[in-house]
Every structure is written in C-alpha cells, then in structure tokens.
Structure 1
C-alpha cells in the first residue's frame, strides 16, 4: 500500500483523483483492469476453486465485475456472471467483450460459495429499483459468503446512508483506490463486513480526511518525574463515580499525576489523589497541564460554577458529559487555551444549538461546522467516531468493538484523551490517540466488559504503541 493509503475521499475527490491518473497517461480501461484484477486477487484468496457468482450492473462498477470474472476464469476458477443489464459505458463494454466465461440470466436459480456485488458502485444517489434489490438480496442469500466491490449497491458514498433501508449485509467490502466516507460511517459500515483496500495508483489528495491509525507514543524520558509527565486535574461533581472512572482511565494513558477535585470524597483507588476544598483554590496549581470536566458533573447552578472555574484554568481542557449541555459561546468567550469536546449524538445536537449551527449534512459536515463555530476539537463519538478540528482537519476511526455500548465507556474515553492532553500532546492528535487507545483497550478486554474493566486495559493498549 502507498504511504497515503489512510486517506478517505469523497465521491468528487475520488473522481478527480481518477481523472488525474487518466490525464497523466492512463485510461478508463486501464484503471478498470487494475482495479478489477486487484479485487480478483482478494476474491481468489477467499474462493479459489469454489463457485463464484458476479453480479454486474450497466456502469463501470459492472465493468469491474466483468474484469474480476475473467481474471478468476483465467486462473481456473469456477465463475459465472449474472448481468442485471447490458453494459452502457465504453469501458464496461470493452471488459464484457474480454470475458470468455459463462453468463446466466438474472432469473436463473444460481447458487454458489462466493457472491460478488458489482451492480452499482460509489456513485449511486438513488435507491435501487425493486427488481434490482430483489435480485441482490436473493443472490446474497444463496451464497455462503458475499463480497461488495467498492461499496455495496444501495449505499451513498459520502454520508453512509442506506438508500434502501433493507439492504443485505456483506462479509467483505473491497474499496477501490481509496477509502470512502461510507466505509467508516453508520449505518452503512454495519453492513460492510471486513474492509480491504485495492491500490490503483491514486496519488495523495491534499487536505483530505484520513483514517486513524495506531499512534506512536514514546516512553517517559529517563529523567522524567510525575510533574514533567503531566498533572491532570479532574473536576468531579454531583455523581463522583463517573469522575473516578475517568481519572482511573487517565492514570493508564500516560499522565504522571492524576488528581480528582471533589466535594464528595468518593471511594477511589488508593493511588488516586483526592483533593477537597474550594475548587477555585485547588485549581490554582501552576503545575496543572490539563483539566477534565463533565463526567458526573450535574447540571445545576453548582455544576455551572464548577465548570466556569475549571475553564478558567489556562491549560488545555477536555469537556464531556454534563458539561457539554452547559457550555456555549459565552462560556468560552474569554478562553485562550484549547478545548476538546466529546459529544455523543444527543450532545452533538445540543452543542449545535448552543453555537448556532444548523445541524445540516452528514456527520462529518456537522462535526466540522461545530468545530469551526466553537473553536473546539470535536470528538463526535459513537459506533462511527470521527474527530474534527477548527482548521478543517478530519480523521475517522475504524469500527471498534460493539461491546463498547455499555454505560461508562464515554467516561473512559474522556479520561484517556485528557491524559494525552496532560502529556503535552497537541489537542487534535491527543484526541486521536485517546480514541485509538480506547478501541484497543476494548479489543483486549474481550466481550461483555464493564467500564472499569475497560479502563483496566488502557495501560495494555498504551503498551501496544511504544
């Protein structure tokens, strides 16, 4: 894979990248051969001599299917093509003419081991017809494994929307040339199965979104001590358990010293420092490197006061949970230090109202608009987490374990990101590192973990980055 294999392109960016290859001396036919034969390599690994059925549509995605089928036939594979319609583009017609294998009518009773969907590609913007949807669904059901080329037919490439709500699920999706946003966005990503990328020579596209990768984290310097590694102030509130959970996660994500400021003195691990007293006094510690506020904060007048004091500390801040429902333009008006916000879907809507955003568009556009309006780094969390910066940077996280859908995991994420902030990491990068660490901790924790069990695996996730 090329060094820019992590880039995620919109449909328009992908078309422009393909046109750049053509302008540089390639052709549509040549690119179709590269893409189709690259995809055929993956199909062959899975199917080998087993029966393969390729569904071809009328456009260039269908042309890719004809190339895949011929490449499999040349290797001695058992392959048949079901054309939903005759090719309509010149490149697809040329690919059809090169295929020398068996062709079956759409109404044929075909069964096999591997089904390959090349009906429509990433350019689709309208629902599949009832006839095409029925054909696609029937072929998926009659094969043991199902593969989609670029995207399953019926998925909108930029938003991840299902143009037909009852689309079947696939076992593997082969992205052609570059990742598309729908590969990472719900609800589409839940239907894609495993993801693999087929390189066709697309160049790096400046300013595009990227896929979050494993961070590289250095061990503390030989002369480090707890303060040089970073002091994180965690502001507790009415429900202290959530703050304890966030602080516990923060202890495993790199910060040298985590201190919980609370009036309640909750039960806590013996190595977590609890500071009581006036918040305005304890947050004047000039050694603070970052502050975390929100988990268990509450939403009453006392909570507003504690939020205001926390944000008065001139260090990077992580704002989560209840605090996301209390902040607004006036709250951040005088603040100079950076802020990272970690809203889930409902909190994202509340922040959009608070900062005058219209909430229009898909999740990436909404997160970018909110980041620009608020000046905060936005971690729009959920089963399709993404991170948006005020300067337009955008990164998508890979799908994490669905076992993260349990109470308290958001507190763990907040503590993990805040810990990276306390280590002195730039906010956008710190957000990415925290998101990756939480996902890796979930993978290591296995199924049916609790939030405290997740927090306990954060140090193991950190170890994977050293």
Structure 2
C-alpha cells in the first residue's frame, strides 16, 4: 500500500474501502475501533481535563468508538456517563460495549459531551427523538465534541440533514478527513478539527486539503518583468479594478498596468495607466505574465467585446466578476486550460447554465465546469473549492469578515499576480486563497477591502 496521506479527503465509500484494505491485510474491525477510540479518547481527555464526560453512543461502529472512549477515560479516572438510546448492532460495537462493562443512563449533564451517535455514511435526517436527545445533551454540557463527524451531517456533501444541529468545540476525524469537514454548511459547526490517523493509505484520485504555500523572495538578478507583468482591463466601475491592481502589486508582481479610458483619483502613481482605446498593443506585449478581466468591467456590449479580445490574446487570464457573467461557450478557444475562473456561487450557477451543465452542489458544478471548458475553476465563498487538471483541493476555513464588498476583487488581483510570477493557474489559486486568508487574519475584525490590501505584504511575508 502507498504511504499514508494525511491531507487526503475521502468520501464515505472511499473510507469504507480503505478500512476494508486494512482488514484484508490483517487488521480487524475491533482492532481498528480500539485504535480510533484511543486516539479520540486522548483528544477528549485533553479537553475535559479530568472533568465529567457524557458519551452518546449509537448502534453502529461510531457508537462502538464511544464505548471505547468511555472505557479508556474511566481507566484514567474520569467520571463517564454513557447514554445509549439503542443497543449496539454490529459485532464490533457489541464487543466494545461488553468491554466497557458499564450501565447506560437515560440522561446526564456535565462538562464535556461526546457525540458518537452517527458518523460517516448517514444519508437521512435524525428521527425526532434522537435529534431531541442529541440537542438536550449538548445543551446540558459546557463543551461538545463530535467523533468523526457531527451526527445529522452528510459526509459527502456537507449538508445538514436536520435543522438546528448542535455546535461543537472540537471534531476528531478518524482515519481520514471527510468532505463535510471542509464544506459548508456543516463545517461551520465543527469547531476545531483534528485528524487521528489509523493507518489508512493513500487513495487514488482523492480530494486533497491544500498545503501551506512556500513563497520566495525575488532572485538577486530580478527585474520588474521577471517578477511578472500583470495587466488589468478596467471598465465601467474603476474602483474594483483599482483594488485588484493594488492587490496584484502587493502579492508579488513586479509591474502592474491598468487599461482604462481615464485616470482616477484613487489610482496610485506606481500603477501604470494605459488610456489607449486600442488594447491590442498592451495585449500583444510578449512580456505580459497575466491578464485580469472582470472587476468593474460592466456588462455592456463594449465590455463583452473587451472580453472577447482578451480571450483571443495568448496571455493566461484570470476571469472574475462581470467577465464570468458575460462568458459564453463561443468565446473559449483551445487555450482555456491556461485560464483561471474565480466564480462565487451565483456566478458558478450562471456559468453552468450558460454552458449547458446540469450538476448538484458547488463541488459537482465546479468539477463539471472544468470538464466542459478546460478552465481551472476556483469556486469561492465561505468554503473554497478548486478544480483543475491537477485534481481537486479544499481549503481550511477563512475569516467570516471577508464577507464584505471588494474582497473578491482583491483575491482576483492576488491570483493574477501569482500567475504572472510563473505559477500554473492551479497553484496560483491555491496560493491566492491562502495569502488572502492570512491577510484577513492580520487585518482583524471589521476590515474593508482596502484594509485587506494593506495587510497583503505581511501576509506574503508569513509564507516566505
């Protein structure tokens, strides 16, 4: 088997197949349950600090993990209550229940509540009585912990199968990350996430959690063109294009040019303004590293013609905002693989409609759009999903303070800068999301898009 891949993100079917491979190699369901339960118990032990713990156990193997957790915590001197609305039904869970050797109670309160009701594979809502029990126990404790996944969550889609599910301080993923750990809306309620590896090997074609970028300073002999020329096509709303230009300038590009019909008081003197109505000379510049079109472009026929001209150039493009609304199948040629599209969910849905794509959910829409067009697609939002020729990447959660006007323009400018520096669209998108997220962390709460731009140099420095 291949070496373990702790950043892979598996579907429920992939996880079951991985566990079966371990069993085929000599493990048993019971030995895997003991290993997973021990790892989860360590996390609960740290959180509880010896205070009373209540474990809610279901009938399946997730419930079996709960009995293992209860037994091991009791061995450490923790007062543990087990609530079991139904008895164990799998052989491994029955064995775990017997080894615990305690007597379940109907209800308990305390400091830490551990949810082992249902894990990976749940596809239907919790019954009213189980939802009530889950909610009551969570409300009766100071902290709640989900083992593998919170109950009531679809592992593969991140959908919450019931309304008003509890929020958790900690979620301990067992064996591998699941898609719901990183997809909205489920991931918003999981608190801190930690993975306990039980020996699952690498799974071919698995979604991956993006790695921390490793940026570098310019070479000793660098000049403005070697660091990357970014050209931004302006339009009807100059503010958005200027934000993107400032972001590109602070994310590594050596030269940023704005194609716009006239100047603007907010345009910095060190961003070159090209007022030529004919964009051809700028688009034909052999030194051009990346072209960004969309922020502030507008949706007029003139804007559409600008988009057509940009797509006809040989430069790699970052397509954002209005460019995505105007994009149609007849505009894309053979060079689409060199381009990055950065739609939010509404723009993604519009693109799917324009390209005749029928898919359900953000991930499947992004995947289908990539397959239909060749574009690298960064489906942005509270959860970012990247789909391209190098696979699929999910990202750690970003600051909710990014939900303000102009932050998407900043992200597009960062992405264009990274493309101009020589990154593939796929790598540029990964770096852009994480620089963007780090800038939001540095900016703190209640920031504006301009504040975000100001934080970019420190964000970039964090990855050097």
**When the two structures are aligned, how many residues end up with a matched partner?**
460
Preserved contact between residue 212 and residue 436 of structure 1 (Cα < 8 Å): no
Please name the residue that 2:463 is paired with.
465
- SS of the aligned residue for 1:253 comes to coil
User: Could you tell me how far apart the structure 2 residues matched to 1:386 and 1:282 are?
Assistant: 32
Preserved contact between residue 336 and residue 374 of structure 2 (Cα < 8 Å): no
Preserved contact between residue 227 and residue 254 of structure 2 (Cα < 8 Å): yes
Preserved contact between residue 336 and residue 375 of structure 2 (Cα < 8 Å): no
User: Could you tell me how far apart the structure 1 residues matched to 2:208 and 2:333 are?
Assistant: 31
User: Could you tell me how far apart the structure 2 residues matched to 1:3 and 1:212 are?
Assistant: 16
Residue 11 (structure 1) aligned with residue 40 (structure 2)? no
User: Could you tell me how far apart the structure 1 residues matched to 2:313 and 2:143 are?
Assistant: 55
Shift, 1:456, TM fit: 1.3
User: Could you tell me how far apart the structure 1 residues matched to 2:315 and 2:457 are?
Assistant: 24
User: Could you tell me how far apart the structure 1 residues matched to 2:430 and 2:4 are?
Assistant: 19
- SS of the aligned residue for 1:173 comes to strand
Shift, 1:333, TM fit: 2.6
User: Could you tell me how far apart the structure 2 residues matched to 1:239 and 1:302 are?
Assistant: 13
Residue 304 (structure 1) aligned with residue 304 (structure 2)? yes
User: Could you tell me how far apart the structure 1 residues matched to 2:313 and 2:251 are?
Assistant: 22
User: Could you tell me how far apart the structure 1 residues matched to 2:248 and 2:7 are?
Assistant: 28
1:161-204 CA distances to partner (integer Å, 9 max, x unpaired)? Answer: 11112212111111111110001111101111111111111111
Please name the residue that 2:280 is paired with.
280
1:285-331 CA distances to partner (integer Å, 9 max, x unpaired)? Answer: 21101100000000001101111222222011000000001111111
Please name the residue that 1:429 is paired with.
427
- SS of the aligned residue for 1:214 comes to coil
- TM-score, with normalisation over the residues of structure 2? 0.97
1:89-143 CA distances to partner (integer Å, 9 max, x unpaired)? Answer: 00000000111445212xx3x2100000000111111110000000000000000
Moved more, 199-208 or 266-275: 266-275
1:198-232 CA distances to partner (integer Å, 9 max, x unpaired)? Answer: 11111111211111221011211111101011101
User: Could you tell me how far apart the structure 1 residues matched to 2:65 and 2:83 are?
Assistant: 13
Preserved contact between residue 79 and residue 101 of structure 1 (Cα < 8 Å): no
Indicate how the Cα distance of structure 1 residues 245 and 227 shifts in structure 2: closer, same or farther if over 3 A, else same. same
Residue 270 (structure 1) aligned with residue 269 (structure 2)? yes
Gaps of 5+ in 1: none
Please name the residue that 2:132 is paired with.
134
Please name the residue that 2:190 is paired with.
192
User: Could you tell me how far apart the structure 2 residues matched to 1:266 and 1:191 are?
Assistant: 44
Indicate how the Cα distance of structure 1 residues 67 and 334 shifts in structure 2: closer, same or farther if over 3 A, else same. closer
1:253-286 CA distances to partner (integer Å, 9 max, x unpaired)? Answer: 1111111111131221122111111222322221
Residue 408 (structure 1) aligned with residue 395 (structure 2)? no
Moved more, 268-277 or 178-187: 268-277
1:93-172 → structure 2 map (5 Å cutoff): 93-101=94-102, 103-105=104-106, 108=107, 110-172=108-170
Preserved contact between residue 73 and residue 101 of structure 1 (Cα < 8 Å): no
1:50-78 CA distances to partner (integer Å, 9 max, x unpaired)? Answer: 01000000000000000001110011111
Preserved contact between residue 315 and residue 337 of structure 1 (Cα < 8 Å): no
User: Could you tell me how far apart the structure 2 residues matched to 1:256 and 1:392 are?
Assistant: 27
User: Could you tell me how far apart the structure 1 residues matched to 2:285 and 2:238 are?
Assistant: 21
Structure 1 stretches of at least 4 aligned residues deviating more than 6 Å after TM superposition: none
Shift, 1:49, TM fit: 1.4
- SS of the aligned residue for 2:134 comes to helix
User: Could you tell me how far apart the structure 1 residues matched to 2:262 and 2:192 are?
Assistant: 46
Shift, 1:362, TM fit: 2.7
Please name the residue that 1:316 is paired with.
316
- SS of the aligned residue for 1:357 comes to coil
1:41-440 → structure 2 map (5 Å cutoff): 41-101=42-102, 103-105=104-106, 108=107, 110-267=108-265, 268-277=267-276, 278-333=278-333, 335=335, 338-358=338-358, 360-389=359-388, 391=389, 393-440=391-438
Gaps of 5+ in 2: none
1:327-361 CA distances to partner (integer Å, 9 max, x unpaired)? Answer: 11111135466110000011001100111111x23
1:19-55 CA distances to partner (integer Å, 9 max, x unpaired)? Answer: 1111111110000000001000000001021010000
- TM-score, with normalisation over the residues of structure 1? 0.97
